[in-house]
Amino acid sequence: MTHNKAKKDISTAKAAEMPGIPLGFRNLLELDYLLDYYVSDEYTFRFGRSCTECRIAYRVLRITYHAQRHRGGTMDVSSFVSRLSFFVRNGIMAKQKANTQRHDPAISRRALISSSAVAAAFTIVPRYVLGGPGNTPPSEKLNIAGIGVGGQGSWDLDNVGSENIVALCDVDWARAADTFKRYPKAKRYRDFRVMLEKERRIDAVVVATPDHTHAVATMTAIKMGKHAYCEKPLTRTVYEAREIAKVAREAGVATQMGNQGMAFEGNRLINEWIWDGAIGQVREVHAWSDRPTHNGKLFWAQGIDRPKDTPPVPSTLDWDLWLGPAPYRPYHPAYVPFAWRGWWDFGSGGLGDMGIHNLAPVFSALKLGAPTSVHSSSTLVYKETLPLASTVHYQFPAREGMPPVKLHWYDGGMLPTRPDELGEGRELSREDGLIFVGDKGKMYVEGWGGNSPRLIPEEKMKAFKRPPKTLPRSVGHHKEWIQACKIGSPTRSNFDFAGPLTEAVLLGTVSVRMGGKRLLWDSENMKVTNLPEANKYLHYKYRTGWTL
């Protein structure tokens, strides 16, 4: 839909009381195209409404549309337009006029909710437009709590530090000490369940615990109506990923998984170039990371047995809370801090770590969902830990006009065959990368998260006429989520995207755990059909006191 087309639709719309809102818009993008017109002098001249009123009308309509679409419903546009116009005409105009000498033209939350017309619009406008517990409008800051704030969580909190950090939870107060100092007004807790029960003012949570407690912490918050940011991978088990995505969808809260590369410019370019046919139909993809190594050194341990000694638990660590739902075992520094990722009970190795980052642009560009099968090969698989290196091979079916795809994952220093098109003297990155193989060429992506795509050979890149940038550009990974919490806008790594991605990644680790055997996957019924014994690794029984 072009800008001229949007203006034409406006001029022919028959919305009786609010001119300019089309009754037949087809998607959120078309509403976005209308914003420029709503705030233009032409609109004000034609319809006698101020730009401020138009901005508010646009935002409320956009939020309502998104909320309805997210829940799989529809919106009675004509009814909404009638109610909204009454709200704007009788409420906002009078309040704005009274405050012109004292305030910015933007309407405050108090001005909105004190208007006598709010009742007319309230039945169809989502609560988070007007405010209320857990539903903060753009004019106010969110009250955010951190769960797991000593490592990655500390960085995440700094990236949402524009909001009110009101509560912090960590099972190890020594590791969390620096974060506690940076947010001295935040209440401190060890148990997130206690924190969420006591701190009713919390609007949103940032979860950055070890993988095995992602699901229980995130689910508890979502069921209480809190917006949720959860680090990657979304969960430790396939079942948890399915359930978290489902409940978040039903709750209608704003969600984002911490694969920051989804905000990269390169990530969007991959999508746009492939959709434009730059390399033709893609039938094979190679993706890799050097984890569990990093820069030639072991980042965390894999391929080892459980330690036999039982040193004392540090006084600052609540070991029982750290274990959470996982099966009990004695404390050992081989697990904490940041040594847990290679243990089956707590993490999912390099695939669960960097696979989430590097496969995300593959899933978005190729519109992947569930694989139909997966098999693998690896170094020695231990009972307690993932192997030092593995390769995982997925088969995905045809979808949305795209052909079936074979997706190959490599970690622990394993790499795909170097493509001849890479050019003389140039080697594949040993840390992270992607190769998309199309029937008209190849795309090589260097760096994690889809950071730097290029067509190969280089001559093809130089001759490439780049297509228009059709995807919205990110305001920033964490800012996307903050904005979504406030106005209901979409996030690029919401749980509807993150859930299926996490499921596929973790299914690959199940194949590895099964010695590389080929698994036939029935996604609808969430079970392996050819090897029933593999299904026990899709989830596990939580310890007493922990539930999803």
User: pLDDT for 221-277, tens place per residue?
Assistant: 999 999 999 999 999 999 999 999 999 999 999 999 999 999 999 999 999 999 999
Confirm if 153 and 133 have CB atoms less than 8 A apart: no
Q: Considering 112, 127, 142, which residue would you say is the last residue of a domain?
A: 127
Joined together, the tokens standing for residue 23 give 């009754």
Joined together, the tokens standing for residue 164 give 């009110």
Q: What percent of the chain has pLDDT over 90?
A: 73
Q: Report CA 170 to chain centroid distance, whole Å.
A: 22
Residue 20 reports pLDDT greater than 90: no
Instruction: Work out the average pLDDT over 309-322.
Output: 98
Position 305 in a domain: yes
Instruction: Work out the average pLDDT over 534-541.
Output: 98
Joined together, the tokens standing for residue 37 give 């017109």
Confirm if 90 and 127 have CB atoms less than 8 A apart: no
Confirm if 374 and 395 have CB atoms less than 8 A apart: yes
Give the full edge-to-edge strand order of the sheet including 204-207. Answer: 187-189, 164-169, 143-147, 204-207, 227-231, 255-258
Q: What percent of the chain has pLDDT over 70?
A: 75
Residue 170 reports pLDDT greater than 90: yes
Distance CA 226, CA 200 (A): 10
Position 118 in a domain: yes
Residue 480 reports pLDDT greater than 90: yes
Residue 4 reports pLDDT greater than 60: no
Per-residue pLDDT, 391:
98
> How far is the CA of 381 from the CAs of 29, 252, 344, 390, 531, in angstroms?
48, 40, 11, 10, 18
Nearest CA-CA partner of 395 in 216, 206, 521, 288 = 521
pLDDT bracket for residue 186 (50, 70, 90): very high
pLDDT in tens, 49-82: 444 455 555 555 555 555 554 444 444 444 444 4
Position 473 in a domain: yes
Position 486 in a domain: no
Counting the structural domains of the chain, the total is 2
pLDDT bracket for residue 297 (50, 70, 90): confident
Residue for token digits 């009970």?
Answer: 345
Per-residue pLDDT, 450:
95
Residue that wins the pLDDT comparison between 536 and 30: 536
Confirm if 147 and 208 have CB atoms less than 8 A apart: yes
Confirm if 334 and 242 have CB atoms less than 8 A apart: no
Instruction: Work out the average pLDDT over 92-99.
Output: 36
Nearest CA-CA partner of 209 in 269, 139, 129, 150 = 150
Choose the weakest-confidence range: 39-43, 200-204, 504-508.
39-43
Identify the domain containing residue 441 by its residue range.
263-309+348-477+493-537
Residue 117 reports pLDDT greater than 70: no
Position 285 in a domain: yes
pLDDT in tens, 485-526: 999 999 999 999 999 999 999 999 999 999 999 999 999 999
Confirm if 195 and 167 have CB atoms less than 8 A apart: yes
Position 214 in a domain: no
pLDDT bracket for residue 295 (50, 70, 90): confident
Per-residue pLDDT, 477:
97
Residue that wins the pLDDT comparison between 14 and 447: 447
Phi and psi, residue 496, nearest 5°:
-65, -30
Per-residue pLDDT, 317:
98
CATH number of domain containing 374 = 3.30.360.10
Position 174 in a domain: no
Q: Considering 93, 127, 161, which residue would you say is the last residue of a domain?
A: 127
Residue 131 reports pLDDT greater than 50: no
Distance CA 125, CA 129 (A): 7
Nearest CA-CA partner of 209 in 201, 224, 199, 219 = 219
Nearest CA-CA partner of 217 in 147, 135, 116, 275 = 147
Joined together, the tokens standing for residue 534 give 């593999």
Instruction: Work out the average pLDDT over 198-219.
Output: 97
The Cα diameter of the chain in Å comes to: 80
Q: Considering 89, 107, 127, which residue would you say is the last residue of a domain?
A: 127
Strand partners, 528: 521
Position 452 in a domain: yes
Q: Strand (E) positions, 1-160?
A: 143-147
Per-residue pLDDT, 61:
57
pLDDT averaged over the chain?
Answer: 83
Instruction: Work out the average pLDDT over 372-376.
Output: 98
Per-residue pLDDT, 296:
82
pLDDT in tens, 388-428: 999 999 999 999 999 999 999 999 999 999 999 998 889 99
Strand partners, 145: 167, 205
pLDDT bracket for residue 1 (50, 70, 90): very low
